[in-house]
Chains A and B, each alone.
Chain A
Amino acid sequence: MSPHRTGPSLPRARGVLSAGVTGYLRDEGALPDPDAARNADPYGDDLQLALYVCYELHYRGFDGVRPELEWDPPLLAVRAAMEDRFLTALRHDAPVESSLDEVLDGLLVEPVRGTGVSWFLQDRGELRHLRAYAAQRSLYHLKEADPHAWVLPRLSGRAKAGMAAIEYDEFGGGRADRVHAQLFADLMTDLGLDTTYGRYLDEGCAPMLTLVNLMSLFGLHRRLRGALVGHFAAVEITSSPASRRLADAMKRTGAGPAAEFFYTEHVEADAVHEQVVRRDVIGGLLEDEPGLAADITFGITATSFVEDRLGDRLLTDWQA
């Protein structure tokens, strides 16, 4: 084994699936039976952590895990069983019941008063809540926009150009200090958190793992490119107003300039990205492949469903 660390540590197991997968990656045991995936809670800690670990092999990998295991056929077979369980549950729980235009219009209406996490943090959030929120969100934001880059080779023309332009902005427009993942690390420093990639995986609650897995699932499978675009649109459209509330929370609590800047940058950037993703990415993709409208809509409904579960979980924890 390499004397220096080659990635984050494997997380602690949360059940038979995650124990089997992490043991296999350490070359210490057999893979779990795919039947265990078919019977698992599709949104539970065990399946979501095991799936997260499988997907992480495509991002940074884990310390002490052989890189070849990224494309290990037996591991991919177990992953496929978990993905099938997850995706089947999502299609059941986040059904497409309206047209794409109707769903987009719904996202573009802003309530005068809301009840979600960003409203709670704006009105009553204390530094301990903001730290807990940032630690959870770090599972995504330290690889912000990475899962969406996988869709680029599957797009063409206007959709590709629009998506690439947004991703360029997400990745700092050519400047390392402006990469959004770096801006989030700066926020974490302001909040006194450890910015090491993967540091808070063990603390990651099942709904947060589910959200990151949703992006990885949509990003890694070409057949789900419409859902990936829908997911991305949902994130960009809802981001600006929520980021304003979070910026206000950071300011009110004195979290620090970098913590505030991360969210004010997202207010401004995502007001642009929202326009480009609707006009060029969705508009261009539908010109090329009109049959993908339902998949794009599913990406939006699935994202709202998963985000709502995360919000409910955090608010339940904080208001207990």
Chain B
Amino acid sequence: MPNTPEHPCRITLGDEGPLLVEGPVEVTCADGSVAVSDRFVVALCMCRRSRMYPWCDTSHRRRTKPGEGPRRSAD
């Protein structure tokens, strides 16, 4: 969607996790590298743990050690 005064780019901040930004976007990182995505929304990593930085890879999620935490799908 074009970024106009009538339709400004929508950015969503949550309590935790990534910053959601309507795409397409071009992101310049601190080291000068440029990442481009034409996805309808992109999730920008805020925790800096992502292996796909600047994109979120869900590395911000809370971790549990074996034997603690709820049972979940064996994916």
Contact = CB atoms under 8 A, between A and B. Distances in A.
Contacts of A303: 73
A173 B39 contact: yes
Nearest to B71: A106
A111 B52 CA distance: 20
Q: What 8 A-B pairs are tightest by C-beta distance, nearest first?
A: A116-B74, A106-B70, A242-B75, A311-B74, A304-B73, A240-B58, A271-B56, A110-B61
A107 B73 contact: yes
Contact of B58 (A105, A168, A274): A274
Nearest to B61: A110
A1 interface: no
B7 interface: no
A36 B40 CA distance: 48
Given A111-B69, A117-B75, A272-B42, 17 more contacts: A106-B71, A106-B72, A108-B61, A109-B69, A110-B58, A110-B64, A238-B73, A240-B58, A241-B61, A272-B20, A272-B56, A275-B14, A275-B18, A275-B41, A276-B20, A304-B73, A311-B75
Interface residues of A, number: 42
Contacts of B74: 114-117, 307-308, 311-312
Given A268-B55, A308-B73, A312-B74, A169 B63 contact: no
Main secondary structure of the interface of B (DSSP, over half): loop
A276 B56 CA distance: 13
Interface in B22-58: 38-43, 51-52, 55-58
Interface string A294-317: 000000000110011001100000
Contact of A275 (B43, B61, B64): B43
A225 interface: no
Contact of B65 (A105, A111, A312): A111
Contacts of A279: 12
Contacts of A234: 73
Contacts of B42: 272
17 contacts: A105-B70, A106-B71, A106-B72, A109-B62, A109-B70, A110-B62, A110-B63, A112-B65, A113-B65, A117-B74, A238-B75, A240-B57, A268-B55, A271-B58, A272-B43, A276-B20, A307-B73
Contacts of B56: 268, 271-272
Interface string A243-277: 01000000000000000000010011101101110
A108 B73 CA distance: 11
Nearest to A238: B75
B18 A109 contact: no
Contact of B57 (A116, A271, A311): A271
A1 B16 CA distance: 58
B35 to A, nearest CB: 10
A173 B40 contact: yes
A276 B39 CA distance: 13
A102 B57 CA distance: 22
